[in-house]
Structure 1
């Protein structure tokens, strides 16, 4: 039961932070959802660090990993929103911004995971 509550708590906090980022940054550019992009990239960086530290053994407990990776990062990152925004760019015929945002998000996410894992090795 404790693990369910940790995931629930982390997910709620992550969702709140995602909401705040979207409210703050999504209006900056007409064809680029900066808040969603930041949530996904920061979530990738954080999950890379959390899972990297968890893999080291003595840095994070299973419960801390559940709270941070499964809970917080699961609630914070926004694949469904990402997919919806891609769909809206496609249906509006804005192929240039669709490709820039899609491939930029994927490349930056993979890079952020790698950086997070690298940082966790330094700690």
Structure 2
């Protein structure tokens, strides 16, 4: 049954990524891949919160938790798009923007994953 949950939540995660990143691009623009950054940071926070919370509580059944963490979060976050956009920035000669994209995605996402874990421990 967990494969069904992963598929359903994965589809919802993909749609959510499309909507959130589109909204961020409309709001901030495309000087940097802000939409991808936003979904990766939000996803890191939520995954840290859900994984740590799931280890501390049985409030979510394992199948649902797997659907949310593997399916939704896997569909919502996007390492491949981050990688592609960074390569495109490099090809365009935008070394500073590419470096900023790498630094922001990796650093801020890791910090927010840690924040999610911290918040889960406070609950």
Same fold by TM-score, threshold 0.5 exceeded?
A: yes
C-alpha distance in 2, partners of 1:78/1:26?
16
Partner of 1:103: 103
TM-score (norm 1): 0.93
Conserved 8 A contact 1:14-1:76: yes
Q: Within 1, Cα distance between the matches of 2:120 and 2:94?
A: 38
Q: Any gaps of 5 or more consecutive residues in structure 2?
A: none
Q: Is the 8 A contact 1:41 1:105 kept in 2?
A: yes
2:69 corresponds in structure 1 to 69
Report the counterpart of residue 18 of structure 1 in structure 2.
17
Q: Retained in 2: the 8 A contact 1:11–1:74?
A: yes
Greater than 6 Å deviation, 4+ residue runs: none
2:59 match: secondary structure = coil
| 1:103 Cα deviation from its structure 2 partner | 0.7
Following superposition, the deviation at residue 57 of structure 1 comes to 3.6
TM-score when normalising by structure 2: 0.93
